[in-house]
A and B are shown apart, each in its own frame.
Chain A
Amino acid sequence: MTAEGMGPALTDQESHLLHQLLSGEDKAFETLVKTFGGRMLATARRLLGNEEDAREAVQDAFLSSFKAIPRFKGDSRLSTWLHRILINAALMKERRQQSRPTPVQINDLLPTFLPDGHRADPGPEWRQMENELTRADLRKIVRAQIDRLPAEARAVLILRDIEGLSTEETASILETTPNSIKVRLHRARQALRTLLDPHFRRLS
């Protein structure tokens, strides 16, 4: 089973819009941006963590999509296709961000084990942070740690756990197989847990 061909066919509304886009109707481009732009901007903000880059990524993505419309085969939903272009635009932008610290390697964020199969650094349990911090502060900590995840892991975590997309749609967006998404999501969750650990472990 591959990611291609899994997307449900276009809805009537989408094929109608696509038709208008192909004939270059101005109104159709406006409809496209108005219909899908809000969700794309939300995703770009989560991926890039700052407003200016997020907006530029959305703009880049729409420009690429306008050019690519004649080549769009309708083998996935329009929203999936646009999201794929957005993620690529955002990851491209991130690679050019000067300020961004070198991301941690995912392998360095996975738990390590002793030869007998036990975890090497079990560490103390997590405490109830809800009592110590406001929701806003808690969110700030978590966002900062999600930002430190390697880009690929961050994308999977955002699409699956934060935006709640299915494994299949995420696979189609990231152009890989559902199975690879499952593996990557599990690793991304472990990595996030590792990054949050110093903030949440019970102080001894």
Chain B
Amino acid sequence: MTCREFIDFISEYLNGSLSPSQNDSFTQHMEKCTDCVEYLKSFNKAIELGKMTANDDEVPSDVPLDLLDAILQSRKPSDQE
């Protein structure tokens, strides 16, 4: 397995969808290539950091009232047709 193939397979490796033999080649590559080990680490970290932006959201489960009103109001004109 080349470094290019290794990087192509990372997402599938992470969600466990590589075949057993692909998985073996993947882990063998890791044993001899520190560049790819570092790439995998930073790739994972990038995913984790992306997720972090969501966890910290103060996501309101409710629509703000003024937005709700604006949406319902703007429906009215088309009712007159």
Instruction: Decide if A and B are genuine partners.
Output: yes
A118 CA / B3 CA spacing, docked (Å)? 5
List A residues 131-160 near B (Cβ within 8 Å): 135, 138-139, 142-143, 146, 157
Asked whether B71 lies within 8 Å of A126 as measured between CB atoms, the reply is no
Partner of A125, one of B3, B41, B64, B79: B41
Interface residues of B (CB under 8 A from A): 2-5, 7-8, 10-12, 35-36, 38-39, 41-43, 45-47, 49-54, 56-57, 59-64, 67-68, 70-72, 74-75, 78-79
CB-defined contacts of B51 to chain A, threshold 8 Å: 161-162
Asked whether B67 lies within 8 Å of A139 as measured between CB atoms, the reply is no
Asked whether B4 lies within 8 Å of A41 as measured between CB atoms, the reply is no
Asked whether A38 lies within 8 Å of B45 as measured between CB atoms, the reply is no
Main secondary structure of the interface of B (DSSP, over half): helix
Asked whether A143 lies within 8 Å of B71 as measured between CB atoms, the reply is no
Partner of A200, one of B42, B50, B64: B42
Q: Which of A77-85, A96-104, A169-177, A191-199 lines the interface with chain B?
A: A191-199
A45 CA / B36 CA spacing, docked (Å)? 34
A190 CA / B79 CA spacing, docked (Å)? 48
List A residues 167-188 near B (Cβ within 8 Å): 182, 185-186
Given contacts A30-B72, A161-B47, A196-B46, contact A42 B57 (CB under 8 A): yes
Is A55 in the interface zone, CB < 8 Å from B? yes
